[in-house]
Amino acid sequence: KNNYYDAFIPSIAFGKTSGKQISHTNSLVNIYKVKKVKISNERSSFLIRTLMSNGINNELKGKFSATLLEELSKEQEKSKNPLDVLSPLNKKIISILIIFSSMLSGWVLTPSRSKWISLGVSFLAGGLSFLALKKFDTKNTLKIQEQLIQLFALDLEGEKVENKLSIIKKDFNMSSQEIRMEIMKIYKKLLGFFLRNSSITLEEIEELINFRSFFSMSAQDLGECHFEFAQDLYKDYIVMTERQGSEGSIPIVNKFFFLSDRLFCLDTKKGYQYESSRIRKVFLFSQETVEKTCKEISLDLYIQSIFSFSERKEFQHEKLTDVEKNLGIEQEEKDKVHMDFYKKKIQEILNNESGFSLEGKEELMNLQNLLNILPETSAQILSDITGPLFCSEVMSSLETINSTRTEESLRVLAENLSTKKEALLLQSEKVSDFFFQGVKKTAENLTFQILNDLKFQQKENILSEVEKLLNLSNNSEKLFLILDSGKSKEVSEFLSEALGNLGKKFSPKELNQLYKVYIEITLEEDPFLRVTPEKENKWKKLSDLLSLSPKEVDENYKLVAGPIFQEKIKEVLTGEKFEKENKKEIQELEESLKLGKDSCSIIKTSGYRECLEKILENKKILNPQDLSKLNNIRIFLSLKWESVQTIHDITSEPIFKKSVLEAMGATGIIPATYWEGLEKLRKRLLLTEFKAKEIFYQCVKEKMKTIFEKAVMENKKKNSPQNADTKDGGEDPTVKQGAGTALGIEAGDSSGNQLFNLIDFYFRNQIFIENEKVFSENKRSSLKGLSGRSEIQLGTTSKPDFSYPVTLKGQFEEKTLNEMYRQYLVDCFSAKLQSEKRRLFNNLDKLGPILGLSSSQINSIHSTVGTLIYQKYLSQALSKGYLDQSDNAFLSNIQLTLSMDSGKCSEIVKEGKRSIVNNKVEQIFSSPNVNSDRVSEMRKLAIQFGIDLKNDLNVSQEQRSKMFRVEIDSGIEKGKITNKSQSLLLEIQNSFSLDDNTSKKILLECITTRCEGHLVNGIASLRRNAEKEVLKELEKMLSFGNLLPIKIQSSIGSKNEKLQLLTLFQSFAPELNSDGKFQEKLDLLKLMLDI
């Protein structure tokens, strides 16, 4: 069993490589382990049956056989070996004689007398001669190949071939393997024979397949033949490619790969891949390039086959299918080739004839059968090719209709189109599509020609061409109904689709220009410029064709008719012809052009404006004669005063504005005597009060802007570093020492305050608008004659309210406006004189609206500045420990003036108090020893201010406990806290927010510590015999013990010393009994000394 399972196939590069036509890989020697599978018997049998049914080309077979036999004969003649002519039997006899002669010579010529040595030499000589003869081919291979070629030429089948091969084996005494090798040699000769010519035919593929099938060659044998042939071919290929300009080997190599590919494809997929890769690696060609080359050759052969079948009038699709399978054409490629060939054939027929004749139709039908093209596909291809031809015929017919429009001519043209449709084999359902395509293209061509004439100003041609375009719809409808009357209901829909998209084909600008020019031409045809219904219909039709919107149509008409009407108005006004006939002529023209009342009014108003500008060329103010003339023009043009008022407002605005600015002068304040003059000027300029006020407000805003800019510059200059040391303090009654800056507010130069000047400018020019607000109120009044009796009466009061039409909002940044208002507010508080302060405060509520600040912005600034003043003032006032009546009055005044929230003000005051107390606490703990007087002072201040040390100041419990102990210690020592007077103790406990347990614990520790300390001091004094000091220490100890009696620890002093202290205390009984409480003290001392 011959197979290639688990075989290692080396790929070896032979010499140099080339990439002239088939590119190759540059890989080195690689070893590939592949599996070889036997040929598929079913597929092979199918191909053989196919080829046999088609018939093998006997001429090619005979030529091949004759050529090879002739070459074999020449080889035999050239052979110098006389044994080549002997038969295999004679060769064997001669070989046997040579062996026996060698053995005999070895026996005779041996020099030894020993028979065994002579026998050994004889066998050795015979063996050597046998080995030598083994290398000598006793078989006549040329004769065997001749027999096999003759056998192939007989064209036998099946068992007959096997019988003939058996005879050849027997005659030449050959094994099956030897016969197989000779068949492979002949196959390579056959392959070489076909490669002598670079041209490729299907018969060569068929012949190779037939040879393989005839001798039952396995896939392995076939692959081995091609691999060995590839190695030999590669050597020739290298030699040929190294020669300059010689590319003859390239097509041969391509043909070899193609033939190999066709033979290998009969094997299984794995076998095909294995054998193909083997021969590719000999040439070092890539798989992609080889596959591409083979595919191109297959397609070329397939196209040639289709052409050959067509030329030979053989239209059996089955034959073409066999060729397709033989060449390995894929379905997608096959369909593309079929479509291209079919289209080219249709085009070829149409190029030779104007339509399809009977022969042409029959040829197309046969070709359709050959290529297996479906009827619907064929119809679609025909439609794609012949449809444009029919469309061109329609365009030609429509052009003819434009010159001759008789019913007879329409009928003849329709018949011609019908004949053309039949000749082009165009389907009936496709006729309407291509007909209206022709209509669409005709419309586009006409539009393009019109636009071209418009570009070169050839207006004489535009009218006729537009008429053709307008008639195209009717002409095409009539022609189509004669051609296909069955679609009368669908004609309008087809026409709208064909003619309704011109707007997408051309630019809107060009189409609008075309529409305007056509309107202009049609209007100029009539000397009276009349707009007739016929013209309107044409304009409407043209606008629909050009896809113009109603707005574009209206604007274009106004652009044409408007200047005509305007020119007429200008002509009448220039000649000052204000008679009734002239007015009637204008009215008739207005009605004829149908421009509309609004458009005509605009044109008339424009004429009035030109007259007004002409009058004002040499003068600034209108005199009575000018006013009368303008009024006559207005009446002649039938214009209302409202229509021309805007013109006067715009024209007279610069004059009136200049006069207002002159009246303001350098100060910006208009004197009272000038107002009457400005009013007279307004009336002469025919300005409305509203416009005059608007101009006045513009001038005011400019002046306000100038004043405010000065204020900003002064503020920057004042706050600059070089002026920091020249700041002066303001005078304030609430400040006892210093001036101005005592509140932490910088004093400004109020005498030159530009913001005050701004307010003064605003009110002296009476820019504000005063409104009166009415409030209801109840009044209680006493009744006359009735003592103690009164009545309540409902009354009303009024209060002026101002609105500010001109503000600086939007003229400056909000940040700048806020800062300047804040600075003005600061100046109010820092003014040096009370009169000046009142003057500034009185105008404070006016400045904010003038600057354009909202209520929320004003309140925010007031709150910020008021908070600053509160904090600074409180830091001074609270330093004395309380707020007196004058302090509260000042703070209330600030609150009312700045409209500050009472809750916020209370919080500021409380925060100031918290700050004072907190500073006291920090001072207490800043020194190493806590002073009881400071603690007491701080506690009393906190009580007075209502400050809770725990909740308001977050003083820690450790600090509160320490201050509590220090103060009660001092209080006990000073006798303020006794057994009978403990109210101070409770007051101190509550002030420091300590609970009872904590307080008791601290009190016990305090008393214990002080008692022990005094006892220690007393014992020390006793030891020094200082009796008075002993009594003093015992008095202090008893003062603490009296509050909370305790037993002092026995470790302090000896028992004897404690007895001495008791004895000493008793010895001073008369002195210590002044208050009559000696016995109580003595008992308490015994308890404390534990005696």
Tokens of 339: 């479509």
Tell me the pLDDT band of 774, cut-offs 50, 70 and 90. Answer: low
- In this structure, what are the phi and psi dihedrals at residue 1035, rounded to the nearest 5 degrees? -60, -45
- 760-775 average pLDDT score: 76
pLDDT per residue as tens digits for the range 336-346: 988 998 889 88
Tokens of 96: 């046997």
pLDDT at 729 over 60: no
Tokens of 541: 């039709």
pLDDT at 1000 over 50: yes
Enclosing H/E stretch for 710: helix 689-718
Q: 863 Cβ partners below 8 Å, 6+ apart?
A: 898, 900, 901, 904
* Alpha helix ranges (H) inside 8-114: 41-54, 58-78, 88-108
Tokens of 1020: 């020390």
- 253-262 average pLDDT score: 90
- How many percent of the chain have pLDDT more than 70? 81
Q: Which residue has the higher pLDDT, 770 or 939?
A: 939
> Residue 581's pLDDT is what?
83
CB 174 within 8 A of CB 168: yes
pLDDT per residue as tens digits for the range 343-386: 898 888 888 777 788 888 888 888 888 888 888 888 888 888 88
Tell me the pLDDT band of 274, cut-offs 50, 70 and 90. Answer: very high
What's the number of CA atoms in the CB half-sphere (13 Å) around residue 178? 15
CB 294 within 8 A of CB 276: no
pLDDT at 58 over 60: no
pLDDT at 226 over 90: yes
CB 1065 within 8 A of CB 1024: no
> Residue 733's pLDDT is what?
41
- The CA-based angle 940-943-945, given to 5 degrees, is 110
CB 220 within 8 A of CB 4: yes
pTM: 0.50
- 161-183 average pLDDT score: 83
551's torsion region: left (phi>0), alpha (psi -120 to 50) or beta? alpha
- In this structure, what are the phi and psi dihedrals at residue 409, rounded to the nearest 5 degrees? -65, -35
Residues forming beta bridges with residue 774, ordered by sequence position: 798
Q: 638 Cβ partners below 8 Å, 6+ apart?
A: 583, 604
Distance CA 166, CA 207 (A): 24
> Residue 50's pLDDT is what?
36
pLDDT at 6 over 50: no
Distance CA 68, CA 186 (A): 9
CB 417 within 8 A of CB 397: yes
- 646-672 average pLDDT score: 88
- 442-460 average pLDDT score: 85
CB 418 within 8 A of CB 471: no
Distance CA 882, CA 886 (A): 11
> Residue 19's pLDDT is what?
34
pLDDT per residue as tens digits for the range 1007-1039: 788 887 888 888 888 888 888 888 888 878 877
Least confident of 136-140, 845-849, 889-893, 1013-1017: 136-140
Tokens of 24: 């190759």
Tell me the pLDDT band of 797, cut-offs 50, 70 and 90. Answer: low
- 574-586 average pLDDT score: 82
- 810-814 average pLDDT score: 89
Nearest to 748 by CA among 728, 770, 768, 773: 728
> Residue 135's pLDDT is what?
53
Going by their DSSP bridges, the two strands 7-11 and 769-782 should be labelled as: unpaired
Least confident of 159-173, 280-294, 805-819: 159-173
> Residue 332's pLDDT is what?
87
CB 850 within 8 A of CB 760: no
pLDDT per residue as tens digits for the range 386-441: 888 888 888 888 888 766 567 777 788 888 888 888 888 888 778 888 888 888 88
- 602-631 average pLDDT score: 83
pLDDT at 807 over 80: yes
pLDDT at 639 over 70: yes
- 919-947 average pLDDT score: 82
Distance CA 516, CA 420 (A): 40
Residue 151 CA from chain centroid, whole number: 80
Least confident of 486-495, 573-582, 857-866: 486-495
Least confident of 104-118, 166-180, 291-305, 927-941: 104-118
Q: What string of DSSP letters covers 737-778?
A: SS-SGGGT-PPP-GGG-HHHHHHHHHHHTT-SEEEEEEEEEE
User: Is the dihedral angle over the CA atoms 557, 559, 563, 569 positive or is it negative?
Assistant: positive
pLDDT at 168 over 70: yes
**DSSP-assigned letter for residue 725:** G
> Residue 224's pLDDT is what?
92
Tell me the pLDDT band of 778, cut-offs 50, 70 and 90. Answer: low
